[in-house]
Chains A and B, each alone.
Chain A
């Protein structure tokens, strides 16, 4: 199935539903959803590259830690992710990221992706996940 995402209403925070063919595509889609929030849908052009490596207990933990990494890169280092090649390793995640360095595009902060109501399901047509962001 094609990748996609939508916001789900949540009183205090913001919940995202994300779907894609496989886990790496889902992670990239989730990152795009987060960047849409942080920049209010700004158009971003990739001009820089980064590599990342992080450990994760399982796929759900991997999603939360990846989204937090993406937010740190944006809010802490001014690297706004546009695209990524990701590989789920035995211990976590490895990836090469491409992004914009235009930190002026940031319009809001998100504190963190959370483990609350976290779900990630591998089905016959792809992967689907739900994650709540603490804003």
Chain B
């Protein structure tokens, strides 16, 4: 592709005008300083590439935490027309339904003061993490099929949570349309021992506290009080999701050629939404989505048990309640207003979070007046944010917002930077106790490897895609 043209619209928006084979313009949410960094990698080109796909509606969108991915940029959002549009496994990613959940508690900072070292160890021992990590849950083949259909609802039926949890999980923790019979044996073999495990890479389980409240009404509704202890869990569908993506990419490459879809990047391979190939992938993806919901639910249970034991109190006394669980790698059918009319569209979010505004029927009743909670983790040394979805997101980004800080350094550069520094000690001096299965993972995930998530959040708030509710600061982090 020839050099891309950019047009700054305002302080928070940059347009990539339609050029070459783009069917719609690109729209990047970023300030000028971020744009200078973003232009250093190939992610803007990826925004333009996504705009080539048939049936794309409005804009090919990217959030301010965008960075170079494969196929779609990380931070990409694209909606497709029901009739002319396509479904692309590369627009969902390998870690299908990678997502974040936040729990709040009645514990306060003073309850954990001086005990973080042992507390981090207690969490580390309770939540299986690291390469090929597996939990004590042992599933038969038919039980795995039940997980793939039932999601977090299956986990709750097994006693790994409460019905109350399900009310505050995107899709109620169970995504409709799962077809376990279409999932390969290898994907099932990869997933079966891994339910209830964190994995490695950027996944984590993080104990923190509410450091600042920006919107008192929303924070109260979300159960977040100043200095209250919180728990964030970031993980996905483990090897099962990765294998489903692999399987689908291979068949979608053939489908793209069969349906005459020109691809600027093979990783964008796709099939028309109504085609048997797309419908098969949708059913497989639904299985991985449900596996990830059940996975995060099982780890929540392990963490609740560990904290109750640690503090010698019941889970009810700790009131470790789920605030919300969001997906950030997913494709879904949703209703959105397009050119003044309500349309059913297939929204792909890859490294982007749903951010439905106040009044939307898919926002849990208890939050409906305020907007859906949006969870935006930062790096392990600084802070994370809780936001709420807005009407602006509904109008401009198919109800989507950012999903994290976004990488600034490659893993190789981060490791090199970390190699001469006492990372664990540095983090401890900041008040963060880190436990990890692999030192190499921590080196790749050092705070310096990420953008400042506060800058990312300021852009989505400034652009009106979400409003700031609270800031969380980490105290104890478990990594794979």
By beta carbon, the residue of chain B nearest A132 is B70
Asked if B253 is at the interface (CB within 8 A of a chain A CB), the reply is: yes
Asked if B211 is at the interface (CB within 8 A of a chain A CB), the reply is: no
Q: Which residues of chain B from 196 to 220 have a CB within 8 Å of any chain A CB?
A: 199-201
CB distance from B416 to the nearest CB of A (A): 10
Q: Is the CB of A60 within 8 A of B266?
A: yes
- Per-residue 0/1 for A91-127: is the Cβ within 8 Å of any B Cβ (1 yes, 0 no)? 0000000000001001111011011111000000000
Q: Is the CB of A111 within 8 A of B95?
A: yes
Which of A60, A72, A107, A114 interacts with B71 by CB under 8 Å?
A114
Q: A76-B190, A111-B94 are in contact. Are A135 and B411 (CB under 8 A)?
A: yes
Chain A residues with CB below 8 A from B409, complex form: 11
Chain A residues with CB below 8 A from B408, complex form: 11
- Per-residue 0/1 for B181-206: is the Cβ within 8 Å of any A Cβ (1 yes, 0 no)? 00000100110000000011100000
Count CB-based A-B contacts (< 8 Å).
Answer: 103
Complex CA distance for A13 and B249, rounded to whole angstroms: 18
Chain A residues with CB below 8 A from B407, complex form: 11-12
CB distance from A56 to the nearest CB of B (A): 9
Which of B42, B74, B245, B269 interacts with A112 by CB under 8 Å?
B245
Q: Is the CB of B239 within 8 A of A117?
A: no
Interface size class on chain A is 20 to 34
Complex CA distance for A107 and B132, rounded to whole angstroms: 10
Q: Which one of B71, B95, B265, B410 has the greatest number of beta carbons of chain A within 10 Å?
A: B410
Asked if A53 is at the interface (CB within 8 A of a chain B CB), the reply is: no
- Per-residue 0/1 for B10-31: is the Cβ within 8 Å of any A Cβ (1 yes, 0 no)? 0000000000000000000000
Chain A residues with CB below 8 A from B410, complex form: 9-12, 14
Q: Is the CB of A108 within 8 A of B440?
A: yes
Q: A60-B266, A108-B438, A108-B441 are in contact. Are A115 and B239 (CB under 8 A)?
A: no
Complex CA distance for A57 and B253, rounded to whole angstroms: 9
Complex CA distance for A135 and B412, rounded to whole angstroms: 12
Q: Is the CB of A75 within 8 A of B201?
A: no
Complex CA distance for A65 and B189, rounded to whole angstroms: 18
Asked if A134 is at the interface (CB within 8 A of a chain B CB), the reply is: yes
Chain A residues with CB below 8 A from B186, complex form: 72, 76
Asked if A7 is at the interface (CB within 8 A of a chain B CB), the reply is: yes
Which of B70, B93, B200, B246 interacts with A68 by CB under 8 Å?
B246
Q: Is the CB of A106 within 8 A of B132?
A: yes
Asked if B69 is at the interface (CB within 8 A of a chain A CB), the reply is: yes
Asked if B242 is at the interface (CB within 8 A of a chain A CB), the reply is: yes
Asked if A61 is at the interface (CB within 8 A of a chain B CB), the reply is: yes
By beta carbon, the residue of chain A nearest B72 is A116
Q: Is the CB of B131 within 8 A of A75?
A: yes
11 A–B contacts, CB within 8 A, in A order: A9-B412, A14-B410, A14-B412, A75-B132, A76-B186, A109-B199, A112-B94, A112-B246, A116-B265, A117-B42, A118-B267
Q: Which residues of B contact A (CB under 8 A)?
A: 41-43, 67-71, 74, 90, 93-95, 131-132, 186, 189-190, 199-201, 239, 242-243, 245-246, 249-250, 253-254, 265-267, 269, 407-413, 438, 440-441, 480
A13-B68, A72-B190 known; 9 new pairs, CB 8 Å cut-off, are A12-B70, A12-B410, A14-B411, A65-B250, A76-B189, A107-B131, A108-B200, A108-B438, A116-B69
User: 8 tightest A-B contacts by CB?
Assistant: A116-B70, A115-B266, A116-B267, A114-B70, A115-B267, A111-B94, A11-B68, A111-B242
